[in-house]
Structure 1
Amino acid sequence: MDWYEKLNDYFPEHEMKDPNQLKDLIEEKDVYHIEETDDYIILYADFPTFLFIDYLLVISNSRGKGMGTKVLDRLKKRGKMILLEAEPSDPDNEDTRRRLAFYEKNGFRKADQIRYVREDDEGRPFSMYILYWAPTEIPQETIMGKMEKACEEIHNFRAKKYYGRLLADPDKVLNWKQ
């Protein structure tokens, strides 16, 4: 699972799933897919009404050449809403700013009415943005419902087996901003 090492080297530890959970998702969930090339790695769920990008990594020597945009454009052609999670911009971490700028440049918007806060293995909370792209205007209530499904079916798939807890109980991690 060389692809896992590449993801693990790039993404923060608290965002990485157990490699065996990912292996089970790929092998046993019809909606969950991996694509790996010399230029990128993407793990995503293709639900009937939306796509959920779990991980997207453009390999470092391919960055800045439009590869990530090509991957997203190919997914957009399916005509479904696309959801993903991204870290908030951190002034001390250039990658967080670049990632958000990349998704914004590609037409993704922040679901600014939804608060999404998970916990790491030590119980420390961390916030994530929910970013979305849609071929037509979508109410944030719809985004909330799709994100609940992604939490239930992807993040929490066999989570108790691998972590002893749910990774993202939708009733606890997703809330409307006041």
Structure 2
Amino acid sequence: MTFYDRLSNYFPDHELKHEGQMNELIDDHEAYKVHEDEDFVVTYADFPDFIFIDYLLVSPKTRGKGTGTKVLDTFKKRGKTIILEVEPPDADDTDTLKRIRFYEKNGFQRAEHIEYTRSDDDGTPHTMDVYYWSPDDVSQRSILKQMATVCREIHNFEAMKYYGRLIAEPDEVLDWQH
């Protein structure tokens, strides 16, 4: 089973990038990488001053055994801010609450001033929370700028080819909330 098959069996369609787009990111974008073994899959972009974790999947058989924490600790050792997108809490989906608790337990905090909403192909809006961890005191304005980079360079990479549109124009999908 490919890393993409593993991701597509877990992540909702509206969150998962097109397989071709992901393969082109891995092949053609110098910052974008995938690492996997039998216990996990992680795709990420390693920029000079921050890391964006696009997808992190821990295999069901190893969940709760520290695998996800070990993966995050490996990234933390690089000494850069780490950013990721997390589904907002949903009382009807207890997995959302477990994911949030996992990231918070690992020192991530929600960027409460950043609103991030993308629309899928049929126009349905999907809001994600932006979480971050940093070895230094970093402002949420800085996180917002880094998320704009993620939108431009990762989410919009070859987007016209795969979706017929840019899917994450920063001025349209990111907003600062006071």
TM-score category (smaller protein): over 0.9
Question: Which runs of structure 2 are paired with 1:53-72 in the superposition (5 Å)?
Answer: 53-72=53-72
| 1:167 Cα deviation from its structure 2 partner | 1.3
Q: SS of the counterpart of 1:97?
A: helix
| 1:177 Cα deviation from its structure 2 partner | 1.2
Distance 2:173 2:57 in 1: 25
* Aligned residue number for residue 152 of structure 1: 152
* Aligned residue number for residue 10 of structure 1: 10
Distance 1:92 1:166 in 2: 31
Amino acid at match of 2:91: P
Q: SS of the counterpart of 1:14?
A: coil
* Aligned residue number for residue 113 of structure 1: 113
Superposed CA offset, 1:128-149 (max 9, x none): 0000000011111100000000
* Aligned residue number for residue 99 of structure 2: 99
Q: SS of the counterpart of 1:7?
A: helix
Distance 2:10 2:99 in 1: 12
Distance 2:147 2:140 in 1: 10
Q: SS of the counterpart of 1:65?
A: coil
Any runs of at least 4 consecutive aligned residues in structure 1 with deviations exceeding 6 A, and if so which? none
Distance 1:37 1:52 in 2: 20
- Normalised to the residue count of structure 1, the TM-score between the two structures is 0.98
| 1:166 Cα deviation from its structure 2 partner | 0.9
Distance 1:9 1:91 in 2: 22
How large is the RMSD of aligned CA atoms in angstroms? 0.8
